Amino acid sequence: MRRRGFLKKIPIAATAPVVLNGLPVGLLAQGQLQQVVSSSSNDKVLVLIQLHGGNDGLNAVIPIDQYAQYYNLRPNIAIPDNGSRGYIPLDSTLDIADQVGLHPDMVGTKTLYDQGKAAIVQGVSYENHNGSHFRSRDIMFMGGDFDDYLGSGWMGRYLDYCFPNYPDAYPTSEMPDPLGLEIGTSVSLAFHRDNGIPVAVAANDPEGFFNLINNTGGLPPESVMDTHYGQELQWIMDIEANSNQYADRLKEVFDNGSNTPGVTYPETYPLSAGRLNNPLAPQLKLIARMLSGGSKTRIFLARIGGFDTHGNQVESYDPTLGNHAALLYHISAAVEAFQNDLQGLGLEDRVVTATFSEFGRRAASNASYGTDHGNAAPMFVFGKAVKPGIIGTNPDLQNLAGNNIPMQVDYRQVFTTILHDWMEAPDQAMVQTLFDGFLDQKLDLFGSVVTSTRDEFISKRFKLNSAYPNPVRDRTTLSYYINTAVQVDIELLDTGGRRIRSLVSGHQQVGEHRVSVDLSDLRPGTYIYRIKAGPLDAAKKLIKM
């Protein structure tokens, strides 16, 4: 599209009005320039994953305290409460009223939770929920009430505040990248501003995009008419100019970037039934690579479809298998790999990932092994900065609203919290984003001293207690607590780290465990006993008399 090298990079400090090839270049007012610098000075990144079609939250996050009611509402699709494909109890340290089970294919989510890198927000929706996919999705993208009709989206308005005069004034050395990047080939309403082209670029293949842009197009016209035709023409010309501006950069960042060696992203659902290929993993893998390549893009939007499970949500012969199971696996496994990748790349401190869906599904199932459109559903928020835990409580399945799960949290409370507490958006940005009304209803999603919060969280759920008695004459009792059913290995080591013997080895259930071990044959001296169990890797000293 730039065979003739049209539209050169625009100098940010231009001193006179400029028109380049008919495209008027807006000048940055003094204050705006400062605003750019101040509001984009941090490098926090938000990755949003849209679950398109309406995710059945109730089969993803199962209320353990109301299992019987849960089962009765949806006997043909209910996830069992026991067996190898029973739900995964998430956290037995919580109040029983808050305890949930995850779908058996959400092992990755459980792992991240145990590492203190995942939070669940229960019952997310908005007042007067709309049963339409399209309207509901639009509302969540635009960031409005049920009766708002905005032509712009909340991400668009937020980024428009941070980076005024887009697209004319960009790229700059401070912001060389697209403000938002949607993985795909088109841009959602979420990234639309009040006027002009959206703030995001859509790409799923930076290299192909670069080649494509460099081998197509001619010179655009230098002026447009003041008609509807002219307005459409201007739109196309702006997109074309924007493509030219960002194609090089996207490729450069992609080429500079890489993924963590040894981190494998999941490709397929290992259990044969359902939607086999993981459509999310390559998107997250690309995002990690772009970030490692130096991308300063602030918001990424990835998408996974197939959640509109009116029929065949589960296999008729096994409610733990089928389309929805595969989708939940795809998300959990892809996000886990993404998080490991970010950790390997040293980027874990910069990125928070959140899922959202236009609505949850009906609490009661239908006869087609599926569920119709419902209301509230849980959201998942992942990242090292996230304060782990569950926000909100289990829905009261005996007091549903028209068979629907009622709202506990407005979706804008979640996004407001993320923008304000994570992205560090100033209050004025929240005004322009139209979320200022939610500033006093933020959620406790990000602890203030993140590391200690997470360590404390983990040590409450996975801990090795002191052996008793210690010093030991003949026998001592080891005790430990685990929050996940995992392989537990406890070994006795000498002070030089050499392995003396195995004390415990086996797959164990959630809970407090006590094991009495006979050490009567051990020579007197100082020893170490070390436990490895899921995220737990701890050691303590033992004296043999």
Partner 1 sequence: MASLNPVTGTLGTRRSAHILRRSTFGPSKSDISLFAGRTANQAISELFQIPATPAAPADYDTFKSWWIGQMLNSGRSIVEKMVFFYHTHFTTKEEVVQSSQALYHQNELFRYYALGDFKELTKKVCLDNAMMIFLDGRDNDRNNVNENFGRELLELYSIGKGPQIGPGDYTNYTEQDVKEAARVLSGYGNDEDFLTIDPVTGIPTSFVKNDGGTVANAHDAEVKTFSEKFQNTTIQPIELVGEDATVAATLDELDQLIDMIFNQDETARHICRKLYRFFMYYEITPEIEQDIIEPLATTFRNNNYQIQPVLQQLFGSEHFYDADNALAEDDNHAAIIKSPLELILGTLRYFGVTLPTAGTQAFMDAVDNGVLSPMGLQGLYLLEPYEVAGYPAYHQNPDFNRNWISHNHLARRYEYIGRLMTSMDDFGFQLDAVAWVESNISDPSNAQVIVQEMVDELLPEIITSARFDYFLNDILLDGLSMGNWTTEWFAYQGSNDDSAVRTQLEALFNALMQSPEYQLH
Contact footprint for partner 1 (CB under 8 A): 1, 52, 128, 130-135, 138, 146-147, 149, 151, 185-187, 189, 192, 201-203, 209, 212-213, 215-223, 225-229, 231-233, 235-237, 239-240, 242-243, 246, 305, 308, 310-311, 366-368, 370, 372-373, 402
Closest CA to 320 of 310, 328, 331: 328
Give the nearest distance from C-beta 242 to partner 1 in angstroms: 7
Judged by beta carbon, residue 210 or residue 480, the one nearer partner 1 is 210
Q: Which alpha helices (H) appear in 143-297, and where do they start and end?
A: 154-162, 206-214, 228-256, 281-292
Which two three-digit tokens encode residue 382?
A: 């992942």
Cα dihedral: 149, 150, 151, 152 (round 10)? -150
Judged by beta carbon, residue 153 or residue 447, the one nearer partner 1 is 153
Q: What is the Cα gyration radius of the chain?
A: 27
Give the nearest distance from C-beta 308 to partner 1 in angstroms: 8
Q: Phi then psi for 278, rounded to 5 degrees?
A: -80, 105
Calpha distance 235→218 (Å, rounded): 16
Calpha distance 311→319 (Å, rounded): 13
Which two three-digit tokens encode residue 221?
A: 């016209």
Calpha distance 468→474 (Å, rounded): 11
Which two three-digit tokens encode residue 173?
A: 């050395």
Q: Phi then psi for 182, rounded to 5 degrees?
A: -100, 125
Judged by beta carbon, residue 187 or residue 326, the one nearer partner 1 is 187
Give the nearest distance from C-beta 235 to partner 1 in angstroms: 6
Give the nearest distance from C-beta 186 to partner 1 in angstroms: 4
Closest CA to 12 of 29, 21, 4, 22: 29
Residue type for 111, please? T
187 contacts: CB under 8 Å, gap ≥ 6: 198, 200, 201, 202
Give the nearest distance from C-beta 192 to partner 1 in angstroms: 7
Calpha distance 468→542 (Å, rounded): 10
Judged by beta carbon, residue 108 or residue 374, the one nearer partner 1 is 374
Give the nearest distance from C-beta 68 to partner 1 in angstroms: 21
- How far CA 350 is from CA of 39, 266, 339, 346, 447, in Å, comes to 16, 23, 11, 9, 15
Judged by beta carbon, residue 411 or residue 481, the one nearer partner 1 is 411
Judged by beta carbon, residue 135 or residue 463, the one nearer partner 1 is 135
Residue 262 near residue 23 (C-beta atoms within 8 A):
no
Residue type for 267, please? E
Give the nearest distance from C-beta 302 to partner 1 in angstroms: 15
Calpha distance 67→397 (Å, rounded): 10
Query: What are the DSSP E strand ranges found in 337-416?
Result: 351-357, 377-382, 389-391, 409-410
Judged by beta carbon, residue 310 or residue 350, the one nearer partner 1 is 310
Give the nearest distance from C-beta 181 to partner 1 in angstroms: 11
Give the nearest distance from C-beta 259 to partner 1 in angstroms: 23
Give the nearest distance from C-beta 147 to partner 1 in angstroms: 6
Closest CA to 249 of 287, 284, 297: 297
Give the nearest distance from C-beta 465 to partner 1 in angstroms: 52
Give the nearest distance from C-beta 201 to partner 1 in angstroms: 5
Residue 241 near residue 5 (C-beta atoms within 8 A):
no
Judged by beta carbon, residue 360 or residue 535, the one nearer partner 1 is 360
Judged by beta carbon, residue 68 or residue 225, the one nearer partner 1 is 225
DSSP-derived secondary structure for 285-335: HHHHHHHHTT----EEEEEE-----SS-SSBTTBTTSSHHHHHHHHHHHHH
3-class SS at 220?
coil
Give the nearest distance from C-beta 199 to partner 1 in angstroms: 13
Judged by beta carbon, residue 156 or residue 388, the one nearer partner 1 is 156
Give the nearest distance from C-beta 221 to partner 1 in angstroms: 5
Tokens 């996004």, located at residue: 415
Judged by beta carbon, residue 203 or residue 531, the one nearer partner 1 is 203
Judged by beta carbon, residue 226 or residue 427, the one nearer partner 1 is 226
Tokens 């304000």, located at residue: 420
Judged by beta carbon, residue 65 or residue 372, the one nearer partner 1 is 372
Judged by beta carbon, residue 310 or residue 513, the one nearer partner 1 is 310
Report the relative pairing of strands 351-357 and 45-51 from DSSP bridges.
parallel
Tokens 């380049």, located at residue: 20
Q: Phi then psi for 533, rounded to 5 degrees?
A: -155, 100
